[in-house]
Chain A
Amino acid sequence: QQQVKQSPQSLIVQKGGISIINCAYENTAFDYFPWYQQFPGKGPALLIAIRPDVSEKKEGRFTISFNKSAKQFSLHIMDSQPGDSATYFCAASKGGNNRKLIWGLGTSLAVNP
């Protein structure tokens, strides 16, 4: 089963708007939640990440909001730009040996000019 559920599958936003992508997880042992951005023909690249000891992390126009009790985290892209058009993946991992990322299915974001 999908341990990290990501929605929506695709998203269209007007330039200057706010893009919001949501992820939910089941395993309370997860303690690291990164977001990766992938442009067509490229490999994914880390965008921003959060640990559960904070409820929000902001880097420029990108913000992660984290709700530990609801087991949800989301990516907000403020003032969305056409250059933000990409596929976004949330992921989660837990401590211990052989740590591996559990990936969401991805969200294809298109920002219209």
Chain B
Amino acid sequence: DTAVSQTPKYLVTQMGNDKSIKCEQNLGHDTMYWYKQDSKKFLKIMFSYNNKELIINETVPNRFSPKSPDKAHLNLHINSLELGDSAVYFCASSNGQGYNEQFFGPGTRLTVL
């Protein structure tokens, strides 16, 4: 069973479109994250939710809106996609926010044309 799953794995779209990425974890964790990894492999935290509450909101354009319908799901909606949004987006989860391992999903490669 996949611990952290994301859909879709690949997403190719035109500039200006709106798209969503879904994430689900079956580990029973209470904290979930969205990361962006650019072409140089730099990992940047975007958002974090703990028990459906937003706790980390980095300097991210407000075109990006996370939604956590329950503890096991954290979706990412992106409006008005731009070329610079092209990257791999990773969802992750952990048990609490302390010294706890983050488990990453397989990533969603977003390409904006």
Contacts and interface: CB of A to CB of B under 8 A. Distances in A.
Asked if chains A and B come from one complex, the reply is yes
Interface of A: 32, 34, 38, 41-46, 49, 51, 87, 89, 93, 95, 97-101, 103, 105-106, 108
Given A43-B92, A44-B104, A51-B99, A98 B42 contact: no
B111 to A, nearest CB: 15
Nearest to A87: B41
A57 B89 CA distance: 31
B99 A44 contact: no
A100 B56 contact: yes
Given A43-B107, A49-B99, A101 B41 contact: no
A31 to B, nearest CB: 8
A44 B97 contact: no
22 contacts: A34-B101, A42-B107, A43-B4, A43-B106, A43-B107, A44-B90, A44-B102, A46-B102, A49-B99, A87-B41, A93-B99, A97-B97, A99-B97, A100-B45, A100-B56, A100-B97, A101-B45, A101-B102, A103-B42, A103-B44, A106-B43, A108-B41
Contacts of B4: 43
B42 A106 contact: yes
